[in-house]
């Protein structure tokens, strides 16, 4: 991984530039879905930007979308490296946002995107995220969730079943979520499902639209 030295006072901190091969593999399929819906200028809030690779790539491919990356504070230095290297005028500096903490929410955006977050968060954090969603997205905005899901309690592939076991062994609060449970939270958040897109590597992109009225 590339290294960048960040100086603060008299101390020097070396930050490893994060990299995910999965992000490299899925960025183009994700872009293909986003392009179908993000056809006019607007703003997008990315929740859980992770390494920052999606923000850097997708903002470059969608120059008419103002892209706001967010994540917990400890991930921001790595995301910032990707943003600085991308040097896109429509890509904002990452800001701290933790759905589990009592902190000011980002301003409402036209759209929201989140990749590979729901199976990493605890279920309580997932519920908190969806409780906040009505305040994060403007009416008629699109909401995109990318990642693996179960349907009626069934995995979509043996590899997803193995992945779920691995997640729970690593951290018991993690795990692949049931689509039906997510759909119920989305309905409470005033979101209507438009499309459930099958993606490579046994993932899905769920496309929702925020209602214009309750």
Q: What does the pLDDT look like over 54-91, one tens digit per residue? A: 999 999 999 999 999 999 999 999 999 999 999 999 99
Query: Residue 102: what pLDDT?
Result: 85
- Domain ranges in the chain are 21-210
Q: What is the value of pTM for the model shown?
A: 0.92
Largest CA distance in the chain: 56
For the cut 60, the answer to whether the pLDDT of residue 13 exceeds it is no
Q: Is the pLDDT of residue 10 over 80?
A: no
pLDDT digits over 35-53, tens only?
Answer: 999 999 999 999 999 999 9
Structure tokens, 83? 């943003």
Local confidence band at 6 (pLDDT 50, 70, 90 cut-offs): very low
Q: Residue 182: which of 211, 145, 157, 155 has the closest Cα?
A: 145
Is 5 or 101 the better-scoring residue by pLDDT?
101
Could you tell me which residue, 60 or 3, shows the higher pLDDT? 60
Task: Say yes or no: domain 21-210 is CATH 3.40.50.150.
Answer: yes
Average pLDDT in the chain: 93
Q: How does 140-161 read in b/e, with b if 16+ C-beta sit within 10 Å?
A: ebbbbbbbbbbeeeebbeeebe
**pLDDT tens digit sequence for 153-176:** 999 999 999 999 999 999 999 999
Pairing status of strand 203-210 against strand 142-147: antiparallel
The pLDDT of residue 15:
65
- Enter the tokens of residue 171: 């951290």
Phi, psi of 96 (to 5 degrees): -75, 135
The percent of residues in the chain predicted with pLDDT above 70, rounded, is 93
CA distance 138 to 133: 9
Secondary structure of residue 190 in the 3-state scheme: coil
């Amino acid at each position: 991984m590339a290294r960048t030295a960040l100086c603060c006072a008299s101390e020097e901190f070396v930050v490893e530039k994060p990299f995910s091969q999965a992000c490299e593999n899925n960025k183009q399929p994700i872009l293909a879905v986003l392009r179908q819906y993000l056809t006019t200028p607007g703003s997008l809030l990315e929740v859980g930007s992770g390494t920052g690779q999606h923000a850097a790539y997708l903002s470059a491919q969608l120059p008419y979308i103002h892209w706001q990356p967010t994540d917990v504070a400890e991930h921001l230095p790595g995301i910032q490296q990707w943003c600085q290297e991308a040097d896109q005028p429509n890509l904002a500096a990452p800001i701290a946002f933790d759905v589990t903490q009592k902190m000011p929410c980002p301003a409402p955006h036209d759209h929201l995107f989140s990749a590979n977050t729901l199976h990493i968060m605890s279920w309580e954090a997932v519920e908190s995220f969806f409780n906040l969603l009505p305040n994060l997205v403007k009416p008629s905005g699109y909401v995109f969730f990318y990642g693996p899901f179960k349907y009626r309690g069934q995995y979509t592939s043996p590899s997803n079943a193995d992945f779920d076991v691995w997640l729970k062994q690593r951290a018991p609060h993690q795990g692949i979520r049931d689509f039906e449970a997510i759909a119920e939270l989305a309905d409470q958040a005033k979101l209507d499902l438009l499309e459930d897109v099958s993606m490579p590597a046994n993932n899905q992109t769920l496309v929702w639209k925020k209602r214009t009225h309750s």
